Amino acid sequence: MIGIYIHIPFCARKCPYCDFFSVPYQKNTVQAYVNAVIRNLKAYANQISDPVDTIYFGGGTPSLLSAEQIHAMLTTCREYFNLSHPEITLEINPARNQETYLHDLYLAGINRLSIGIQSFSDSQLQLLGRTHTVKENCKIIHAAVNAGFENISCDLILALPEQTEMLLSETLEILIHQPITHVSAYLLQIEEHTPFAENPAILEHLPDDDTVADRYLQTVQKLESAGIYQYEISSFAKPGYESRHNLKYWTCADYLGIGTGAHSCLQNRRFYIANHIDLFCQEAMQKEITISEQACDPSEKIMLALRTVKGIPPEMLSRKAQIKADLLTERQYMRLTAEGNLALTPKGFMISNAIIAMLID
Amino acid sequence: MNSEYIRNFCIIAHIDHGKSTLADRILEKTRTVAERDMEQQILDNMDLERERGITIKARAVRLNYQANDGQTYIFNLIDTPGHVDFNYEVSRSLAACEGAILIIDASQGIEAQTLANTYLAIEHDLEVVPVVNKIDLPSAQPEKVCQEVEDIIGIPAMDAPRISAKLGTNVEEVLEKIVSDIPAPKADPNAPLKALIFDSYYDSYKGVIIYVRVKDGTVRTGDMIHLMATGADFTVTETGYMTTDQLVNTGELSAGEVGYIAASIKSIGDTQVGDTVTLKEYPCEEALPGYRKVNPMVFSGIYPADGAKYGDLRDALEKLQLNDAALSFEPETSIALGFGFRCGFLGLLHMEIIQERLEREYHLDLVTTAPSVIYKVTLTDGTVQYIDNPTNYPDPSVLALAEEPIVKADILVPSEYVGNVMDLCQDRRGIFKDMQYLDDTRVTLKYELPLNEIVYDFFDALKSRTKGYASFDYEFMGYAPSKLVKLDILLNGEMVDALSFIIHTDKAYGRARKIAEKLKENIPRQLFEVPIQAAVGGKIIARETVKAMRKDVLAKCYGGDITRKKKLLEKQKEGKKRMRQLGTVEVPQEAFMSVLKLDE
């Protein structure tokens, strides 16, 4: 089984905290870009015989594309690949009057939405420079349900300035009462060269490490109490709704990335595509830049798998690392799963960099 | 060589009053160095000396001077260090001279080391020739300074040359003064050889080169010499005088002269500075009075940051010691820091200079423990021990008497800061001895201070309380009984030997708290909570806690791009290399260093 990731690098406007590559929406460029994606899908189809079980439209803002454009790309996938009960996700930002659009997306074949909700607090949405409101957040979720979507994921951003326990609790309370199946909760990270990195009003009010950890644990607890269980550092789902596509990243499964900046891992080879839209649109096939020919070695596997609640079989670790893991388990940073695997606890996830570094050196 | 036309002199001054600059001008005026070859401060040929503007090692050089009386004189200029730590080197230089040029800064006036060095010169019966320097400065008050010299030191100074060494103004006057005021050496070239070793260094081709002042007799190439203190005998392979950049082999050195002897001496240990050289076959009856052997006063553990560099550190110390007999070192082991050396220094500046030279010239990354003095302890069974490493401090149950070194300190300070300085000395357990007004505005304070109170940061504290105007000089006085305790630091319940030190009971609590705070600032949060405790004799007197790490995560791993995560892990691994693993606690080098600077 293989996953296909399609990157859509267009945004209506740039969010002040985001450092991902994107360009402003421009009609002609977008169509040329979609054509190039279709061209690449056809080209890769010759090399790939494995069945495809996930397709993911990420961005940027894929919801800037028309339903027809999405439909065209998915049609190509159907015609050229062997699709096997695929999970087909599209990232979408809340906006006005999306009812028809959602309906058309559903008809085009999208069966999972990942909505950039970010928060259910208007003041926090404003701080993030988002143009939607809490009202619009609720509206899009219901519109999606009405359009036929059953599998709906919401993005949340934690560790924001002024995000008190109370404020976050309000957001979580609203969230768990929505008809959703999945939550991705990220911690705000200040990236260089973004407006946030130069904004003293933001920088001076960032929560300290202890507060961040508290908010994270608060989120984990609240979601679990509502039956939305953590299955990865920043992913939570109702049972059976874990993102099959994202899990491929943590299990060293194969995925093909198409589009600018897209990453791939195919048969232990990692590569990515340059952030150059014109080049991508013009070339017959996207140019792969190799990162590694020996991906998914044991230490990479440990690093990735420890992001999930499934964890790793203890024997993947060296003798020395196993002793360290025992100590970490004693201190409740790790735990033994029902299958006998070693996995991080929520408290452990929060310091996973340190733990992973300790276990694979 | 007619000794009537020889003048042996040195230059003494407080630090920064222009000693090396005047030496440069004298070299230039006597054409010892062509102007085009002139590099600033030729006698200071270590980078460090030039940068810090201080002279560390004494050096000697021969010059020819065509005086106004038509005669050509031989000047032997012996450069001396100005800093208090190097007093013994000053006294070595003085013993080789008949006169000393005393430089006083025309704007600063007399300072603590001006006095200390002058008194040393007078003790050695030298003719002191005062010179007022830096008259080009707008704030120069040469007349006032001359008056000060007469009033405070009590030597005539009204006709002292007023010069600017920097610009070369009136330097000829100084040269004429050397001829007229400094006596020629009294010497008998036919008497048995009697020469004073005042310096030595190691040359990898010729072996140890000793610098000597020949008091009586003559030494020639081929002579069998006898070093009276060490008892060693050598055959002279070369002898002659020094220029600024080379040794000139003349094959002979006679009474009154200053020069060098090479005799294939393999070990610097055979050539004690202060020893007397005579001839094996025609020896003199008694040795010259040598000088007090220098004893290191301040000790500190020096460890390579990377344990694998232990051998490099040993080699570097050995090389430094060849030219710096005052440096002592012996291997020691610390549980916390591994293998290293306990090094002895003359004082704090000496310690800093050695550390800096190790790092700069030998590219070593070092961890240094807090400086310690030598404590004298008497055990209940009557044994007396000298303790230079806090780790070896005896258990209180077997301790009958503890004594610590006391110094006599002279502090010169503008009168408006007297209060500040007295507060500082009081705080450092000083005993007030005397206070005198040098003039209307300046005061000299005399205190007896425990050496362990000044080895940390006294000088910095003094400067900051007097806007940099105070000057300071000290000399060892003796041991005095004291209420001392050993303060231990525990990380996660385990004692860190490299952080232990000895302190006066009354100071233990305050110091313990400060150290605990500093360590807390400098130890990064770890997976587990790390208690920092300071203990005296098993009793915890201060505690801080480095809280457990709560957040170290890359939550977002976007679109299957794992490169950021990998980079982060690699960075983390790099960071670990700079950490010392103490039990379960990782301690960065900076944490060890941070406890050395507590009064910031």
Average pLDDT of span B180-200 = 90
Give the long-range contacts of residues B318-325, CB within 8 A, separation 24 or more. Answer: B319/B362, B320/B354, B320/B357, B320/B358, B321/B268, B322/B201, B322/B202, B322/B268, B323/B57, B323/B201, B323/B202, B324/B57, B324/B354, B325/B200, B325/B268, B325/B272, B325/B273, B325/B294
Give the H or E element holding residue B355.
helix B348-361
Q: Write down the pTM of the prediction.
A: 0.71
Domain containing residue A24: CATH number = 3.20.20.70
Domain contains A254 = no
Parallel, antiparallel, or unpaired: how do β-strands A151-158 and A112-118 relate?
Answer: parallel
Do A86 and A150 sit in the same domain of this protein? yes
Do A313 and A177 sit in the same domain of this protein? no
Domain contains A263 = no
Do A236 and A128 sit in the same domain of this protein? yes
Q: What is the pLDDT of residues A17-54, one digit of tens each?
A: 998 889 999 999 999 999 999 999 999 999 999 999 99
B571 in reach of chain A (CB within 8 A): no
Domain contains A269 = no
Do A306 and A245 sit in the same domain of this protein? no
Q: Are A176 and A141 in contact (CB under 8 A)?
A: no
Domain contains A270 = no
Strand B59-66: give its sheet, edge to edge: B59-66, B72-79, B6-13, B99-105, B127-133
Find the helix packing angle between A99-108 and A67-80, rounded to 10°. Answer: 10
Do A216 and A325 sit in the same domain of this protein? no
CA distances from A337 to A131, A237, A332, B6, B454 (A): 42, 18, 13, 93, 60
Partner residue opposite B550 with nearest CB, options A185, A210, A307: A210
Distance of CA B455 to the CA centre of its chain: 12
Q: Which residues, numbered 146 to 185 in chain A, qualify as contacts with chain B under a Cβ-Cβ cut-off of 8 Å?
A: 185
Q: Which residues, numbered 274 to 293 in chain A, qualify as contacts with chain B under a Cβ-Cβ cut-off of 8 Å?
A: 291
Show which of A249, A283, A308 is a domain's final residue: A249
- Count up the domains in chain A and report the number: 2
If one counts every other C-beta atom within 10 angstroms of the C-beta of residue A105, the result is 29
Q: Are B24 and B167 in contact (CB under 8 A)?
A: no
Given a cut of 80, is residue B559 above it in pLDDT?
A: no
Distance CA B206, CA B246 (A): 13
Show which of A249, A283, A316 is a domain's final residue: A249
**B449 Ramachandran zone, left/alpha/beta (phi>0; psi -120 to 50):** beta
Provide, as residue numbers in chain A, all residues whose Cβ is less than 8 Å from the Cβ of B569. Answer: 303, 353, 356-357, 360
Contact yes or no for A257 and B560 at CB 8 A: yes
Q: What is the pLDDT of residues B50-73, one digit of tens each?
A: 454 444 444 688 888 989 999 999
Q: How distant is the Cα of B363 from the closest Cα of chain A, in angstroms? A: 28
Domain contains A157 = yes
Q: Are B133 and B32 in contact (CB under 8 A)?
A: no
B570 in reach of chain A (CB within 8 A): no
Distance CA B214, CA B225 (A): 13
Distance CA B532, CA A213 (A): 24
Nearest Cα to Cα of residue B27 among B98, B253, B137, B19: B19
Q: What is the pLDDT of residues B67-98, one digit of tens each?
A: 999 999 999 998 765 454 555 556 667 888 99
Provide, as residue numbers in chain B, all residues whose Cβ is less than 8 Å from the Cβ of A213. Answer: 550-551
DSSP string over B501-561:
EEEEHHHHHHHHHHHHHHHHHHSPP-SS-EEEEEEETTEEEEEEEEPPP--------GGG-
Provide, as residue numbers in chain B, all residues whose Cβ is less than 8 Å from the Cβ of A269. Answer: none
Q: How distant is the Cα of A179 from the closest Cα of chain B, in angstroms? A: 25
Given a cut of 50, is residue B35 above it in pLDDT?
A: no
Nearest Cα to Cα of residue B501 among B545, B546, B453, B544: B453
B2 in reach of chain A (CB within 8 A): no
3-state secondary structure of A31: helix
Q: How distant is the Cα of B366 from the closest Cα of chain A, in angstroms? A: 25
- Closest CA in chain B for residue A5: B559
The confidence band for B1, taking pLDDT boundaries of 50, 70 and 90, is low
Q: How distant is the Cα of B339 from the closest Cα of chain A, in angstroms? A: 25
Domain contains A178 = yes
- H helix count then E strand count, chain A: 14, 16
B308 in reach of chain A (CB within 8 A): no
Specify the pLDDT at position B89: 58
Contact yes or no for A303 and B563 at CB 8 A: no
Q: What is the pLDDT of residues B366-424, one digit of tens each?
A: 988 888 999 999 999 999 999 999 999 999 899 999 999 999 998 988 899 999 999 99
Do A193 and A337 sit in the same domain of this protein? no
**Which of these ranges, A78-82, A270-274, B166-170, B347-351, has the smallest mean pLDDT?**
B347-351
Q: What is the pLDDT of residues B210-266, one digit of tens each?
A: 999 999 999 999 999 999 988 889 999 999 998 877 889 999 999 999 999 999 988
Q: Look at the block and give the residue holding tokens 């230490």.
A: A299
Average pLDDT of span A337-358 = 94
Specify the pLDDT at position B291: 59
Provide, as residue numbers in chain B, all residues whose Cβ is less than 8 Å from the Cβ of A291. Answer: 563
Do A305 and A201 sit in the same domain of this protein? no
Distance of CA A301 to the CA centre of its chain: 19
As beta bridge partners, residue B6 has: B74
Beta strands in B72-221 (DSSP E): 72-79, 99-105, 127-133, 194-203, 207-216, 218-220
Do A101 and A221 sit in the same domain of this protein? yes
Which of B561 and A103 is assigned the larger pLDDT? A103
Given a cut of 70, is residue B565 above it in pLDDT?
A: yes
Q: Look at the block and give the residue holding tokens 């194969």.
A: A254
Distance CA B591, CA B257 (A): 53
Domain span including residue A109: 2-249
Domain contains A262 = no
Distance CA B54, CA B469 (A): 18
Nearest Cα to Cα of residue B573 among A297, A300, A361: A361
Q: Are A250 and A307 in contact (CB under 8 A)?
A: yes
Peptide bond into A60 cis (omega under 30): yes
Do A125 and A215 sit in the same domain of this protein? yes
Q: What is the pLDDT of residues B297-350, one digit of tens each?
A: 889 999 998 888 999 999 999 888 876 767 889 999 998 889 999 999 887 778
Distance CA A159, CA A186 (A): 8
Show which of A249, A268, A289 is a domain's final residue: A249
Given a cut of 80, is residue A128 above it in pLDDT?
A: yes
**Which of these ranges, A129-143, B130-144, B311-325, has the smallest mean pLDDT?**
B311-325
Contact yes or no for B560 and A264 at CB 8 A: yes
Domain contains A114 = yes
Distance CA B221, CA B235 (A): 8
Provide, as residue numbers in chain A, all residues whose Cβ is less than 8 Å from the Cβ of B562. Answer: 249, 263, 270, 300, 303-304
Distance CA A314, CA A161 (A): 39
* DSSP class of B391: G
Within 8 A by CB and 6+ apart from B85, the residues are B345, B346, B347, B348, B349, B350
In a mutational test of the A interface, the residue from B562, B568, B572 whose CB has the highest number of chain A CBs within 10 Å is B562
Do A184 and A242 sit in the same domain of this protein? yes
Provide, as residue numbers in chain A, all residues whose Cβ is less than 8 Å from the Cβ of B585. Answer: none
Do A334 and A233 sit in the same domain of this protein? no
Contact yes or no for B568 and A353 at CB 8 A: yes
Average pLDDT of span B8-32 = 83
Do A244 and A311 sit in the same domain of this protein? no
Distance CA B246, CA B32 (A): 12
Pairs across A and B, CB distance < 8 A: 98
Given a cut of 80, is residue B557 above it in pLDDT?
A: no
